[in-house]
Chain A
Amino acid sequence: MFKYLKQLTSLVAMVAVLFTFTTESMAAKKSKTLKNTQKKGFVRCGVSQGLPGFSNADAAGNWTGIDVDVCRAVAAAVLGDANKVKFTPLSAKERFTALTSGEIDILSRNTTWTLSRDADIGLTFVGVNFYDGQGFMVRKSSGITSTSQFKDGISACTNIGTTTELNMRDFFNSKGIKYEPVAFEKADEVVAAYDAGRCDTYTTDKSGLAAQRTKMSNPDEHIVLPETVSKEPLGPVVRQGDSVWEDIVRWSLNTMIEAEEYGITSANADMMKTSDNPAIKRLVGAEGELGAAFGLDNDWSLRIIKQVGNYGESYKRNIADTGILPDRGPNELWTKGGILYVPPAR
């Protein structure tokens, strides 16, 4: 009698253990960040304090830009509505602390992917949504047309807390030029000081230079020099340690890029469900069970394309049509001579 009881208990215990394991792994799939986001009903997204084309708020407080669109894509995938995003404007200095302390869940703020940032400070970079490089802006009247004309004593305005500060040192050191770095906390102050004539040159990512140029009192008086002095792959960042959330953000961005590759736009996405191409059908949720891997429904990618559009649409709307960088340069698809290349969604 006792013998059976003992066996029964161990059986119950085993079943119980097995059961906990299964529920546990289901819960793990529904990551903590994902759960919190769905409970709150909005995606918490860290953006810049105003960089036209990337993340910029209009007078009514509506955010636009390609960095903003990454967060909107995640909101469309996770919550079903691209507008359910709470944007937090952050300075370069605050951005990583805001993410690691859990104040925001995605940092999509023209942030350069580097080894030390990825490895050191509790962050994970999920991809690249803009390939950039550092450049220099000067006044046209100075007659400078190339960085080779820089001379000892040149003063350079920039932001603190960016890779720009480090690249600037590398660049001037390698050329053996003595320079005066003037580093401000906010981009608006850099622009104001450079515009006033405090500095001979203004250095930051070339996309940033192009965008900030539009804010100058007379944009035509300034030119961006042709040289690019560094690699600046910009992309969204998440906290280390939530791999499901990391995957969701990564594949939301990849979906936008791959949609452009297959010619799926916000306008024709619904019609693509009946396409003959299985890759397209997978991307609009008509085939396969891709969403289940993240704990999402199967229409997650369709919602991204319909509500936010593909990468090309986002680029055109935010960067090309606003006159910031009409030429896509390296940010063209790999099929069209650029370097945008993402792993397949399958």
Chain B
Amino acid sequence: MNFKLKDIVPQLITVTAVVLVFGFFTYNAQINMENRGIDFGYGFLSQESSFDVQFSLIEYDGSHSYFRAYLVGLLNTILVSVIGIIIATILGVIVGVARLSPNYLINKFAAFYVEFFRNIPLLLQIFFWYFAALRALPLPQDAEAIFGVFYLTIKGLYVPAFIWQNFSVFFYSIVAAIIAIIVIRIHAKKVQENQGKQIPVFLISIGLIFILPLLSFLIGGVGISFEVPVLKQLATTSFIYEGGVSLPPELIALTLSLSLYTATFIAECVRAGIQGVGKGQKEAAASIGLTPNQVLKLVIMPQALRIIIPPTTNQYLNLTKNSSLAAAIAYPDLVLVFAGTALMQTGKAIEIVSITMFTYLTLSISISLLMNWYNKKIAIQEK
């Protein structure tokens, strides 16, 4: 070890400055809160919340605690983020590839989509999908059935609910299929390394994931029936659908706007990734006799992904944080439920804002770690 004074001193000064600034603000806040008679503490989390929430993934009503309300908000935030990330990724990849298409129409349409949606502020898009598009939807009593069972109305999307018999058998058949696929993949890799033979793993996997659950229906006694939403009258002109599952329009509008917005950025990442792989790579792969499919799967994509993943991680983080705009259209996410209603009812501004900030930080860091792990896995492995 060879410490040099000139290396240590600036770092010490920085650390001291950070600690002092942080300490100053904490001290100041303490004094100010004392002067204004505000108590500090997290005890309120176990108190009864006494407000209801429109949409919750766990059982909740006003007789539960503020902590439970926090969980409701957190799960709703995670729900909209996960659905948003999945849709944005699928759409982004399709549009990104479409932008490279030699077909003029597809190419220009994709370019138009990207330029249009990424250049309008997200909040405006959310308002558009919620207020403008919502008004265009029919009232429940006027709604036309889609495929006879779906109803898209101003009060939400009503879909049939599944009612399972022997669900556990079905579940185990899927687990069995997944284990079988993993085993076959490992086996196929060994066979290829030892004998140079290729086993059509993809086709076998597809077959397994369909056939095993199908068998569970035929011989495992698994049954499925649907509970179809039925129109119910509340008053002369006021109706709702009962039964089935209802997705509130707030969730639909928020997911739609977040996905459409973020997909444009992911599309650009995908385009950059594919264009970033040298033309020579494709030609070299073709010259050693790989089929076009193999060229894409074994040569182009592994290299493109290295370019695509890091900026796409940023977009996933953006989407998660942007989901806090939910408050504007009454989707009960973490900000609306916890940093909104709960903050107002308790008046614990510092506590609740700090918890909320810490939660978003944790969410973002989790996504970051996951994506960094994936990035490391696909990075160049020097042997």
Contacts and interface: CB of A to CB of B under 8 A. Distances in A.
Contacts of B336: 160, 183, 185
A178 to B, nearest CB: 10
A62 to B, nearest CB: 28
Interface string B147-160: 00000001100000
A105 to B, nearest CB: 13
Interface residues on A, range: 35 or more
B135 A196 contact: yes
A169 B134 CA distance: 26
Interface in B117-133: 131
A153 B232 contact: yes
Given A182-B250, A197-B139, A192 B131 contact: yes
B329 to A, nearest CB: 7
Interface stretch (B31-39, B205-213, B263-271, B359-367): B31-39
Contact of B332 (A92, A183, A189): A183
Q: Is the interface of B mostly helix, strand, loop or mixed?
A: mixed
Interface string A87-121: 00000110011001100000000000000010011
Contacts of A169: 50-52, 61-62
Nearest to A157: B330
Contacts of B35: 241
B250 A139 contact: no
Contacts of A166: 50-51, 62, 345
Q: Is the interface of A mostly helix, strand, loop or mixed?
A: mixed
A200 B36 contact: no
B237 A239 contact: no
Contact of B330 (A173, A184, A200): A184
19 contacts: A100-B36, A120-B347, A122-B37, A143-B235, A153-B232, A153-B240, A161-B345, A165-B341, A165-B345, A166-B345, A181-B54, A182-B248, A183-B330, A183-B332, A183-B341, A184-B328, A184-B329, A185-B327, A189-B328
Interface of B: 32, 35-38, 50-54, 61-62, 131, 134-135, 139, 154-155, 232, 234-238, 240, 242, 248-250, 327-330, 332, 336, 340-341, 343-347, 349
List 3 tightest A-B contacts by C-beta distance, closest first.
A161-B344, A121-B347, A143-B236
Given A143-B235, A144-B235, A165-B345, 5 more contacts: A93-B340, A142-B234, A142-B237, A161-B343, A181-B52
